[in-house]
Amino acid sequence: MSVYKRGKYWVVQFNHSNKTYTRSSKSTRKRDALELERQMRQQIVDTQVLGHREHIKLHEACDDLLSTSRDSGAYSSLVTAINRFKDYFNNIALDEITNRDLSRWVEFERRRGIKDITIRLWSRQFNKICRNAKRLGYYIPEFEWGEWIVKDKPIRYLIDEEEQKILKELDPSIVTDPKHVKGRQAARDIFIVMIDGGFRINEASILKWSDIDFENGVIYLYRSKVSNDDFIPMTNRLRATLLNRRRVVDSDYVFPGRYSGHKSIKSNFALEGAFKRAGLEDVSSHNLRKTFATRLLNRGAAITDVQHLLGHSSVKTTERAYAAFVKNERFKQTIDLLDEQVVPRLKVMK
pLDDT at 226: 57
Pick the CATH number of 160-335 from 3.40.50.2300, 1.10.150.20, 3.30.70.260, 1.10.443.10: 1.10.443.10
Beta-strand (E) ranges in the chain?
3-6, 9-16, 19-24, 212-213, 218-223, 228-233
Burial class (CB in 10 A: 0-12, 13-18, 19+), 290: buried
pTM of the model: 0.61
Q: Is 151 a residue whose pLDDT tops 60?
A: no
* Topology adopted by domain 53-151: DNA polymerase; domain 1 (1.10.150)
Tens digit of each residue's pLDDT (9 = 90 or more) over 34-72: 888 887 777 777 666 555 557 888 888 888 888 877 766
Digit-coded pLDDT (tens) for 275-324: 999 999 889 888 999 999 999 998 888 888 998 898 887 787 788 778 77
Gap between the Cα atoms of 125 and 129, Å rounded: 6
The domains of the chain are located at 1-52, 53-151, 160-335
pLDDT attached to residue 238: 96
Residue 348 has pLDDT above 60, yes or no: no
CB 279 within 8 A of CB 288: no
Cα–Cα distance measured from residue 54 to residue 47, given in angstroms and rounded to the nearest whole number: 8
